[in-house]
Chain A
Amino acid sequence: MTTTLEQEKAPIAEQEEAPETPEALQISYDAQKKACTIDLQRGSDGIKERSAQLATTTAIEPDEMNQLKNIYADAEKIPRVFEKRATGIEAGESSQETKEEEKSAMKLVADQFVKEARALLDEQFSKAEKNSPQNLDFHNAEHTNTVIDRTAKILTAMKNGGEDVTDEDIAIGKIVAAAHDLIQRSNVSEAMDKGAPLPEKRKRFIRANERASIDEGKKMLRTIEAFKILTPEKQEKVNKALEAIMVTVPDGWDGKTVVQNGLTKNSPPIERALALADLGDAGMDTDSYTEAGKRLFREENIDMLDVVNRFKKGETISEEDQKKYKDRMVEWSKAQVGFAKGRSGKFSQEIEGLSDDAKKNVTALFEKFRTSIEEAENIAGKREGMHFANLLFDMGYLTEEERLVAPAEKIAA
């Protein structure tokens, strides 16, 4: 059976960590270099051989023949390029190529960091069964992923608008976004640790969580292999950038929406991009805003979990309780309208300080305010008329199947 290059194992991945003496490291380096050279040479030979075979077939057109020749020539170069650049690395040359490797290193740090952060978030906040207070329905890996993507998009928009943002800054922005919600302590986790009764509502330890996430991010960075090869200046740059997380502290409320008081017209690009991305749902993605609204409600309203679990077991929920919780869900849904309006109203202030072109580019990413507001109005109106079971379903507490098996009197309007 032929294997493609992708299926083959990378020789360096199997290398064990060598003891840290110069002699042992030199031996390890030489062995790895040899293994890599052989692997690349074999890959290159395979491509050349297939190209040569294909060139003899009669069905081949001149255009395809040219493509094959180019593929052959490019494959031939690869082991030579590797050898040349490895020699440069050994000589400690600060050549353009070595700089390229260092630039790639920052991207590699970002990729590895994002992977680690996701795993930690999954482990902490998505592992327990559904409707468990241990889980975080909103502040989980999915939210972080969205913030990573949005931070990168906003930074790119700023860069294209002439702001002082480099590709390296975008990679650092991803690291900062991946770390921004790593630690999520609350009165619920505290009660669970002590074995105390759970509170009615989850109150996250704002500011302390952001501080702890920065510290956790710095700790995690030190475990990333590629981070170790960054120059001390670059390492310091990433560590310093993590402080931008403090801008996401939702320490203000203007009556409608959250205000991040740390965000000013002088905020540096990564800080601004992260702040905008973290509260970006309403402006950037209406579906995401609708979903986030439900998730945040479920995450905060801890006492609802008991009612939902009882309901799923077929227990009767008193009329009084049904009304109490229904009112709460409907009020929340109405507040979503105000929240989106508030975000929309704050937006121009939040991009104050950017160049006109950058403002234009970033504004183009935030064009969904109107549809988010309309959709939130529409949903709030519908929920007001829903029966309890349908409302639980609409808020994401029940699956379609669970709703359907609910007794008729619990569904009928």
Chain B
Amino acid sequence: MAEKTVEKLKKQIALLRILYKEQKQQLLRLEKKQQEVIRAVVRKSDAKKIAHITGNIQTL
């Protein structure tokens, strides 16, 4: 009986590890996607600043 319980728990632990790895991968994918959005926003924000500065120089 104890042997069966041990087997069951070992399988449970192994399945938990696989489940965790899978969900962690999902998080990593989401983080990567988020980084892409951040980079796009930062690029645009820099472009706006540059345009603003260029505009100021031209009015001088």
Q: How far is the CA of A80 from the CA of B23 in the complex (A)?
A: 10
CB of A71 within 8 A of CB of B34, answer yes
Q: Give bound CA distance, A75 to B40, whole Å.
A: 20
Q: Are B41 and A74 in contact (CB under 8 A)?
A: no
Say which residue of A22, A40, A60, A67 sits within 8 Å of B23 (CB atoms): A40
Point out the residues of chain A lying under 8 angstroms from B6, CB to CB: 20-22, 25
Interface SS of chain A:
helix
Query: Hey, what's the 0/1 contact readout for A259-276 against B, CB within 8 Å counting as 1?
Result: 000000000000000000
Chain B residues 9 to 29 lying within 8 A of chain A, measured CB to CB, are 9-24, 26-28
B60 at the interface (CB under 8 A from A): no
Tell me if A1 is interfacial: C-beta within 8 Å of chain B. no
Give the interface size class of chain A. Answer: 35 or more
Residue numbers in B under 8 Å from A20 (CB-CB): 6, 10
In Å, the complex CA distance between A11 and B22 comes to: 14
Q: Does A82 touch B at the CB level, under 8 Å?
A: yes
Say yes or no for A364: interface residue by CB 8 A criterion: no
Question: Measured between C-beta atoms, what is the minimum distance from B38 to chain A in Å?
Answer: 6
Name the one of B12, B22, B30, B34 contacting A29, with C-beta atoms under 8 angstroms: B12
Contacts of A39 in B (CB 8 A): 20, 24
User: Does A90 lie within 8 Å of B41, measured CB to CB?
Assistant: no
Contact A29:B13 (CB < 8 A) given known A12-B20, A20-B6: yes
Q: Give chain A interface residues in 50-106, CB to chain B under 8 Å.
A: 50-51, 54, 57, 59-61, 64, 67-68, 71, 74-75, 78, 81-82, 85-86, 89-90, 92, 98, 101-102, 104-105
Instruction: A59 to B42: give the CA distance in the assembly, Å.
Output: 8
Q: Is the CB of B41 within 8 A of A60?
A: yes
Considering the complex, give the chain A residue whose CB is closest to the CB of B48.
A59
Q: Report the tally of A-B residue pairs with Cβ distances under 8 A.
A: 125
Q: State whether A229 and B41 are in contact (beta carbons under 8 Å apart), knowing that A29-B16, A59-B48 are contacts in the complex.
A: no
Task: Write out the residue numbers on chain A whose beta carbons fall within 8 Å of the beta carbon of B22.
Answer: 101, 104
Other-chain contact of B30, A47, A86, A89, A228 (Cβ < 8 Å): A47
CB–CB B19/A82 < 8 A: yes
Are A89 and B16 CB-contacts (below 8 A) given A47-B31, A59-B48, A82-B23?
A: yes
Name A108's contact: one of B8, B12, B18, B31 (CB within 8 Å).
B18
**Is A33 at the interface (CB under 8 A from chain B)?**
yes
Query: What residues of chain A lie closer than 8 Å to B26, measured between beta carbons?
Result: 74, 78
A250 on the B face (CB < 8 A): no
B contact set with A: CB distance below 8 Å: 2, 5-6, 8-24, 26-28, 30-31, 33-34, 37-38, 40-41, 44-45, 48
19 further contact pairs, Cβ within 8 A, besides A25-B9, A228-B11: A4-B31, A20-B10, A22-B9, A26-B9, A47-B31, A59-B41, A68-B34, A74-B30, A82-B19, A82-B23, A89-B15, A102-B15, A105-B15, A108-B21, A225-B14, A225-B17, A226-B18, A228-B10, A229-B10
5 closest A-B pairs by CB: A25-B9, A229-B14, A59-B45, A22-B5, A36-B20
> What are 14 of the A-B contact pairs (CB < 8 Å)?
A10-B20, A20-B10, A21-B6, A25-B6, A32-B17, A47-B31, A47-B34, A54-B41, A64-B41, A78-B27, A82-B23, A89-B15, A92-B8, A225-B14
